[in-house]
């Protein structure tokens, strides 16, 4: 496994992390406990040192799972978790009050079976709480040694700058992939200017870029992709052009479409660390092998030229969730 540093923070992690949400939340029924533990420990064996969770994933179940799985190797790994929702429930509204931030930190430390949170993200910007107050609350936790680094998720440029001025931001976590490239306009240049690392979630387009999903795919009733416009049957059919592009490149490289999608992300900046999630060991192994794939300048240009001609159909969030991002 190769390693990368998240911006100027000095925080070094495996060049591919593991997004753990799907083990407990969001993509249908939770993975069986023993299988989830096995996958997390297999990830450690394969060299992953960066694990992403949140109190809202469950709520709470995902943090407890990681605490159990990673306790024996705690000093070998970096654990990121998040605050920002009332009562830890993503459906209950936002709450990044300083009091709530401290409550989340104290509870997460217990669930994660640790004495520090390596990277503590604000899950979504809370318009009711000044960013200076949010960053100040995390700064206090850093002074106390309970948190090591401060992060933001899905924040806009203004919020990033305000937060960074109060307490240096180590990383921004937002969606970024070949089928969601909005961060390239303002976010990535701002992160580069400020020396902040970028942690793309859904780097495989919530599974779409693997090629395993088509217009006929039926998602389990509790799978949140059922409400995502980009995953309507019509949009999935239209968006197959991006999968075909990845498949063509993959054939030339003796790789999979997922591996090319991840290798493309890794080639964008040396301080980008994608966190693909999976519930399957063979997908974990496949994803991690992407770190060993190098795309030449010619191949990157080929992808860029072909991708520029593809119009992606469908919004990435339903309207009520879209209101929470980019603030």
Q: Is 176 a catalytic residue?
A: no
- Helix, strand, or coil (residue 118): strand
324 Cβ contact list (under 8 Å, min separation 6) = 94, 124, 125, 154
Torsion of CA 117, 138, 12, 189, to 10 degrees: 140
User: Closest by alpha carbon to 232, among 222, 211, 220, 217?
Assistant: 217
Q: Are 160 and 168 in contact (CB under 8 A)?
A: no
- Report the sign of the C-alpha dihedral through residues 242, 244, 250, 252, in that order: negative
Residue 13 burial (10 A CB sphere; 0-12, 13-18, 19+): buried
Query: Which one is catalytic: 27, 57, 121, 176?
Result: 57
Active site residues: 57
């Amino acid at each position: 496994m190769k390693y990368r540093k998240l911006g100027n923070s000095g925080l070094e992690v495996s060049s591919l992390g593991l997004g753990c949400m799907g083990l407990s939340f969001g993509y249908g029924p939770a993975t069986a406990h023993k299988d989830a533990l096995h996958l997390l420990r297999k990830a450690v064996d394969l060299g992953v040192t960066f694990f992403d969770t949140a109190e809202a994933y469950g709520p709470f179940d995902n943090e407890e799972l990681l605490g159990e799985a990673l306790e024996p190797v705690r000093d070998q790994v970096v654990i990121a978790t998040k605050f920002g929702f009332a009562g830890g429930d993503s459906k209950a509204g936002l709450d990044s009050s300083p009091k709530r931030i401290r409550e989340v930190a104290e509870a997460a430390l217990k669930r994660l079976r640790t004495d520090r949170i390596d990277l503590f993200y604000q899950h979504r910007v809370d318009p009711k709480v000044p960013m200076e107050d949010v960053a100040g609350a995390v700064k206090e936790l850093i002074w106390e040694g309970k948190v090591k680094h401060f992060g933001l998720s899905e924040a806009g440029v203004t919020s990033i700058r305000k937060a960074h001025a109060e307490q240096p931001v180590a990383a921004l976590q937002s969606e970024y992939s070949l089928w969601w490239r909005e961060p390239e306009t303002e976010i990535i240049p701002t992160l580069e200017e400020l020396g902040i690392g970028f942690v793309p979630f859904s780097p495989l387009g919530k599974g779409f870029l693997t090629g395993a999903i088509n217009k006929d795919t039926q998602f389990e009733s509790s799978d949140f992709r059922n409400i995502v416009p980009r995953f309507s049957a019509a949009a999935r059919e239209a968006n197959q052009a991006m999968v075909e592009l990845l498949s063509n490149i993959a054939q030339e490289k003796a790789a999979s479409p997922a591996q090319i999608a991840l290798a493309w992300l890794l080639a964008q900046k040396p301080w980008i660390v994608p966190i693909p999630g999976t519930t399957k060991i063979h997908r974990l192994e496949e994803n991690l092998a992407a770190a060993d794939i190098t795309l030449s300048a010619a191949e990157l240009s080929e992808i860029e030229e072909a991708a520029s001609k593809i119009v992606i159909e469908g919004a990435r969030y339903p309207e009520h969730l879209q209101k929470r991002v980019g603030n």
